[in-house]
A and B are shown apart, each in its own frame.
Chain A
Amino acid sequence: MSRETLNARRLLCPLPVIRTQDRVKQMNVGDHLEVICTDPGVMQDIPTWCRINGHTILEAKTEDGEYIIVLEVGE
């Protein structure tokens, strides 16, 4: 299991979702991805994207004006 970080700062939705999707494609089931964003829209869009595509949100938090989401890659 690996853990990777994706810098999606300054990108506006849906670009953070697209970058997340493209990165997840290269990862394996069970891997963790941390996505760091500045658009608050990700707090809604990335969890929705995860739900419909079978990935799990492990953490979603706001820190110093940034939005950080950790997800686990599903099947």
Chain B
Amino acid sequence: MTQFLNKHFKHNNSIMSEQRKAAALISGGLDSMLAAKVIIEQGVHVEGINFFTGFCVEGHTHAIRERDRAQPKRNNSLWAAEQLGIKLHIVDVIDEYKDVLINPKYGYGSNMNPCLDCKIFMVNKAKQWIQENGFDFIITGEVIGQRPMSQRKQTMPIIARESGADDLLLRPLCARNLPETLPEREGWVDRAKLFGFSGRSRKPQMELAQQFDFVDYAQPAGGCCFLTDESYSAKLVDLWQNRGTKDYELDDVMLLKVGRHIRPKSNFKVIVAREEGESRFLEGYKKEFTSLISSSHSGPLALIDGEPTDEDLALAGRIIARYGQGRDAEKVDILVRSQKGLEQTIQVSPFAPDQIAEEWFV
């Protein structure tokens, strides 16, 4: 009996110690959620990793803009992890990501989104993570043909190879269309229970979501980050062109999401808050930027990015006066505050709508 118990116990132990572990890249969208679920269903221990590049579409703008404050907000990757019942590790890659965005080997997509380089970077980071944390393989929610730049049949092996993950990278939703990976060959997962989705249709994912009882999942129209957004990308390009260097700080990334960006001359631009919440947010940057606000009428706060002359400040004053209650007044007082806190008041006449040239809007 003891012998039997020992043997049985040992056997169970060895089964337990052999439970394989996978790290799932969780973006917060449906596909990464489904991929993780498919592998959890096969008895693998799955934990999620989410990389924060600074450009991720999450609560930021909601937190800033007054009109969005009332809407319920959630972080989709945390929400997805909770639905899946797995841990989630959010990794700050803001600094390292700069090199990906500034010098993408495979270039940009339709906007400033370097999707292929981004995927390679993230899978490479996941590879480092699994090595440091004793995990066996990586899963992603990629589907062949789903996205024009990064999810094509030809790019799948590029991501696997250039990230260094090679056959430790399993894409459960389209694995049946790809060569066998190590987890399949070793029998850690059953290839027959993986999928062969391909193309742009979302139907197979919807059906699988229904099978898993996933409701209320996020379906961001523009994908997972601001870099796929046309107007955001235009502001980023404008920033690089006018600074004469392709570089950025996290503050730049945040400020590009806020306010009207108006560049009357190449040496400076004006960031004008569109509402109360944005004014409050911009307040936090008064030590880093020259700021302007009307002192004679109520109106928005504005920051000046660049090196304005006194004449430029008067021009900026006329712009922001246009967006305040004094827009029809003959003269408006504008309080100009330097980064160091030195204050001066200038008097300007507000611009008429047609005096703010169309091409000044970034």
Nearest B-chain residue to A45, judged by Cβ: B75
Nearest A-chain residue to B48, judged by Cβ: A52
**A14 adjacent to B58 (CB under 8 Å):** yes
The tally of residues in B whose CB lies under 8 Å from a CB in A reads: 29
**B69 adjacent to A40 (CB under 8 Å):** yes
Q: How far is the CA of A13 from the CA of B64 in the complex (A)?
A: 11
Type the 1/0 row for B82-120, where 1 means its CB is closer than 8 Å to any CB of A: 100111111110000000000000000000000000000
Type the 1/0 row for A35-74, where 1 means its CB is closer than 8 Å to any CB of B: 0000111001100110111000000000000000000000
**B78 adjacent to A45 (CB under 8 Å):** yes
Q: Quick check: is A18 within 8 A (CB to CB) of the other chain?
A: yes
Beta-carbon contacts under 8 Å, B230-289 to A: 254, 284
Q: Nearest-CB distance from B169 to chain A (Å)?
A: 24
Partner of A39, one of B59, B74, B86, B91: B59
Nearest A-chain residue to B75, judged by Cβ: A45
Main secondary structure of the interface of A (DSSP, over half): helix
Q: How far is the CA of A17 from the CA of B92 in the complex (A)?
A: 10
User: Which of A12, A39, A41 lies at the interface centre, i.e. has the most chain B CB atoms within 10 A of its CB?
Assistant: A12
Q: Nearest-CB distance from A3 to chain B (Å)?
A: 24
**A48 adjacent to B59 (CB under 8 Å):** no
Q: How far is the CA of A21 from the CA of B91 in the complex (A)?
A: 9
Q: Quick check: is B52 within 8 A (CB to CB) of the other chain?
A: yes
Beta-carbon contacts under 8 Å, B29-65 to A: 50, 52, 56, 58-60, 62-64
User: Which of A14, A15, A49, A51 lies at the interface centre, i.e. has the most chain B CB atoms within 10 A of its CB?
Assistant: A14
**A52 adjacent to B88 (CB under 8 Å):** yes
Q: How far is the CA of A13 from the CA of B85 in the complex (A)?
A: 21
Residues of A within 8 A of B88 (CB): 49, 52-53
Q: Quick check: is A10 within 8 A (CB to CB) of the other chain?
A: yes
**B254 adjacent to A41 (CB under 8 Å):** no
Residues of B within 8 A of A17 (CB): 75, 78, 90
Residues of B within 8 A of A10 (CB): 284
Residues of A within 8 A of B185 (CB): none
Interface on A for B, CB 8 Å cutoff? Answer: 10, 12-15, 17-18, 21, 39-41, 44-45, 48-49, 51-53
Some 24 contacts from A to B, beta carbons below 8 A apart, are A12-B60, A13-B58, A14-B52, A14-B75, A15-B52, A17-B75, A17-B78, A17-B90, A18-B52, A18-B90, A18-B91, A21-B89, A21-B90, A39-B59, A40-B69, A41-B62, A44-B73, A44-B74, A45-B59, A48-B78, A49-B88, A49-B90, A51-B82, A52-B88
**A14-B52, A14-B58, A45-B59 known; 16 other A-B pairs, CB under 8 Å?**
A12-B254, A13-B58, A14-B50, A14-B77, A14-B90, A17-B78, A18-B90, A21-B89, A40-B69, A41-B59, A44-B74, A45-B75, A49-B88, A52-B85, A52-B87, A53-B87
